[in-house]
Amino acid sequence: MDSKQLARKAISLLDLTNLNDDCTDEAIEALCAKAQTPYGNTAAVCVWPRFVKKAGEYLKGTGIKIATVVNFPQGGESLEATLDETVKAIADGADEIDLVIPYKAFLAQRRGFAETMVLRVKAALPETVRLKTILETGELKDPAIIRAASDMAITAGADFIKTSTGKVSVNATPEAAEIMIKAIADSGKPVGFKPAGGVRSLDDAGVYLAIAEKHMGADWASPETFRFGASGVLDALIAVMEGETAEAGEGY
């Protein structure tokens, strides 16, 4: 696949993201407009829960999914608060819920609690709403723990496993991606993968797609099975499509 084919594919797999603390209605309107590119729409936009309804208004009829985050970014331990966030986001029109697992509890050997949160949030979702579980792999660090968290999330019903919030010092890495995609392959379940945080260039995107192809086959990565979580990479991808040289994108 040449660079333009790769860029077009990456655009179609992108969850275009604004999770800035100072995000505004105007920024969401701009994000939703940007998600509709001359080279195809992004797969989704990912926004704070308070902007889900607004994003739905801007994206009506486009086919672009609306993703939002719960228990984000701390991965706290309030199950009821997380469920409340989830139910409200669904009522506001969210198509996808990106749940930060309580990773500190997981690290503290309270893995049953982490599993319970995934199970309860999954149970709160209509069949049409997807659950992406954010493992925060840069904080889990140990490969065996990343694998255990991946297995837990898959077993508990996650539709995607996602590396990171983009809010810690180490976010998506190829090493974590290898572990997580291998867990998906070994499970035999129809679970997707989402690297998030630090995907800023066509080369970055190509690295993660190559890992997916190695473990899952050349035709596996589609919007149903693979997403990039990023804010800054879209400009770089569009520059490739237009035959320009771009600086690596900034942001999440």
Q: Choosing from 122, 162, 167, 204, which is the catalytic residue?
A: 162
Sheet holding 160-162, edge to edge: 192-194, 160-162, 130-134, 96-100, 65-70, 44-47, 14-18, 228-230
Q: Dihedral sign, CA of 161, 173, 19, 63? A: negative
- Residue 252 CA to residue 239 CA, distance in Å, equals 18
Q: Choosing from 9, 167, 194, 204, which is the catalytic residue?
A: 194
Q: Are strands 40-41 and 36-37 parallel, antiparallel or unpaired?
A: antiparallel
The answer to whether 131 touches 125, Cβ cutoff 8 Å, is yes
SS3 category, 94:
coil
SS3 category, 98:
strand
Token reading at 52: 């889900």
92 is catalytic: no
Token reading at 228: 């990039």
182 is catalytic: no
Task: Return the closest-CA partner of residue 215 out of 192, 185, 191.
Answer: 185
167 is catalytic: no
Going by C-beta distance under 8 Å and a sequence separation of 6 or more, which residues neighbour residue 219? Answer: none
Q: Choosing from 15, 95, 98, 204, which is the catalytic residue?
A: 98
Catalytic sites, residue numbers:
98, 162, 194
